[in-house]
Every structure is written in C-alpha cells, then in structure tokens.
Structure 1
Amino acid sequence: MRILVVSDTHRDQYSLEQAVLRQSKAEVVIHLGDGADEADLVKAKFPEKMFLQVRGNCDWGSTLPADGEIVLEGKRIFYTHGYSYNVKYGLYQVCCAAREKGADILLFGHTHQALTEYDNGLYLMNPGSLHGALGTYGVIDITKAGIVTNIVALNGGGQHNWR
C-alpha cells in the first residue's frame, strides 16, 4: 500500500493536485493541516482515494480533529499537525504521544522542514511544506517486507534541510 503524506499547503491547491497526480498509486492521502480548504477541494476531484485530515494552527474555524489514528496494512499510524505538541522545539512530546497510542508510524507537519527517521521501532515523518517552489511531500510504502518512507521534492530540485 502506498500513502501520500502532505502538510502545510497554505492555499496552494495546484501543488496538492500535482502531488496526488504524481503519486497515482497512492490509495490514501493524509493531509497534516494548514490547508483544510484546498484539501477538501482536491478530495472531491479524487473520490477513489481515501483522504484523512487534521487541522493545523492556520485552519481557523475548522472542525477537523487535532489528531488522527488509523491502522493500514496492520500498521498503526498516528498523525497530527504538531503545533499542540510543540514540534518546533523538539520531538519528545509528539513521540511520547505516538508511543502511548502504540503507533508504528508518526506523521506530523508544522515546521515546514522535511524529515524521515526511524527511532527504536517508530517511523517518523514530516513531509515538509508542499507550498511553493521548494515544496515537498512524503511517500510511505507498507509491504510485507516492511515500511519504506521517502521525501519527494515536488519540482525535482532545490535545497532542502532533511535530516
């Protein structure tokens, strides 16, 4: 199963549509907030895909939940925007929340800095911001052999601070 992970689109509907089109094999799209309006519009264009969303700190008035959980292919995924866990100041709080929920995969946004790591049984991913010329998104493949995470530059170039 392929999962497309996006965050912080900040009204950039075009980039969100491009990411969905480029990852046509993705069955699930997870939007990690700060883009609820355009996510709803793009969701309507791709009814065959499962869209999961949480609200970000810039999704004013949104009734979306702050966090979400789902089990896909036997792997528990915990996803959040991250601002309520202070991810700009470190990952301890959000990792603790994911571990308390028994997550295999933790997804968060908010910092606009792409990240993919593995930490003692927990896969972490921040897809970065999909907004603008240096936009990035994440791809997760869950197979019988395991989990693979990747960060993809939407426009195929530019400097990115991935760690």
Structure 2
Amino acid sequence: MRVCIISDTHGNMSKVTHYLEENLNFFDEIWHLGDFIKDTEQLKQKFGRPMIAVKGNCDFYQSGPEEIVREIDGKRVLLCHGHHHSVKSSLMNLYYYAVQQNVDVVCFGHTHVPVNEREEGILCFNPGSAAIPRAGFRASIGIMEFGSGRVVATHVHL
C-alpha cells in the first residue's frame, strides 16, 4: 500500500493538486494531517481516492477526529496534527504518546518542517507543509509505503 501524506495546506492546494495530477496512480490513499482539512473535499471531488483526515489547530469549526489509529500490513499507525503534543518544542511528548498507544508509526504536521526519524523503533514522520514551509525548507509532502512488514517513508519537494 502506498499513501500520499499532506499537511498544513492552509487553503493553498495548487502544488498538491499539480503533483497528484501527474502521480495519482501511484497512491492507494491520501492522508491530510490537519490545518485546513476542508481542503480534502477538493481532493476527494477531483481525484476520487480514499481520504483520511485529522483536525489541526486551525480547523476550529471543522468536524472530524483529532487523531486516528490504523493498522496497515501489521503496523499500527497514529495520525494526528501534533499540536496537542507540543511538537514545535520537541518530539519527546509525541514519542511517549506513541509508545502509550503502542504504535509503530506516528504521522504528524503542525511544524511545517519535514521529519523522518526513528526513535526506539517508532517512525516519526512529518511531511512538512505543502503550502507554507518553514525553516528554509521547500513545500513538501510525504510518501509512505507499507509492505512485507516494512514501512518506508520519503519526502517529495513540490
């Protein structure tokens, strides 16, 4: 299974839309990790792929879950925005929460900065921001592949 992971679009979907127009056939699902989850409606209508979305700190009046735990190919995956775990300061709170939730992978956003690191066997992955990157990074999304008991995550600069 291959997933396109986006976050922090803040209403600017032009780069994501352009990327998916050229690469949609590579993905089984699209995940949005918050901050303008209403942008997922545009993606659903245009591309018709299964979508999963969680709310971020800028999704005040939107309905939807704040986090989701899924099992894919024997791996437990936590999707959240990250603001409830102070990810702008450190990943430790998020890591400890992931341990409590007994997950193998945690996908989060909020910082607008790409992250792809393993801590004690837990993959912590932030696709960065598809619209408003920070800290000198370019706009980016993530690709996560599940298969043969492995999870491989990479960033794509838009």
Change (3 A) 1:52 1:105: same
Change (3 A) 1:114 1:23: farther
Deviation at 1:60, TM superposition (A): 2.1
- Specify the alignment match of 1:50 in structure 2: 50
- Specify the alignment match of 1:13 in structure 2: 13
Measured against aligned partners, the alpha-carbon deviations of 1:15-56 in whole angstroms (never above 9, x if no partner) come to: 222333325311011100012121111112222x22110111
Deviation at 1:127, TM superposition (A): 0.4
Preserved contact between residue 74 and residue 149 of structure 2 (Cα < 8 Å): no
Do structure 1's residue 41 and structure 2's residue 42 form an aligned pair?
yes
- Taking structure 1 as the reference length, what is the TM-score of the superposition? 0.87
What amino acid does structure 2 have at the position aligned with 1:137? I
Between the two proteins, what is the percent identity of the paired residues?
29
Preserved contact between residue 29 and residue 51 of structure 1 (Cα < 8 Å): yes
Do structure 1's residue 125 and structure 2's residue 125 form an aligned pair?
yes
Runs of 4+ residues over 3 Å off in structure 1: none
- Specify the alignment match of 2:105 in structure 1: 105
What amino acid does structure 1 have at the position aligned with 2:116? T
Do structure 1's residue 150 and structure 2's residue 151 form an aligned pair?
no
Preserved contact between residue 2 and residue 144 of structure 2 (Cα < 8 Å): yes
Gaps of 5+ in 2: none
Preserved contact between residue 75 and residue 149 of structure 2 (Cα < 8 Å): no
Preserved contact between residue 12 and residue 131 of structure 2 (Cα < 8 Å): yes
Do structure 1's residue 83 and structure 2's residue 83 form an aligned pair?
yes
CA–CA separation in structure 1 for the residues paired with 2:45 and 2:96? 34
Deviation at 1:75, TM superposition (A): 1.2
What amino acid does structure 2 have at the position aligned with 1:81? H
Number of residues paired by the alignment?
Answer: 153
Match of 1:141 among 139, 145, 148: 145
Preserved contact between residue 15 and residue 132 of structure 1 (Cα < 8 Å): no
CA–CA separation in structure 2 for the residues paired with 1:96 and 1:132? 28
Gaps of 5+ in 1: 155-163
What amino acid does structure 2 have at the position aligned with 1:32? L
Q: Considering only aligned residues, what root-mean-square deviation do their CA atoms show, in Å?
A: 1.6
Describe the SS at the equivalent of 1:87: coil
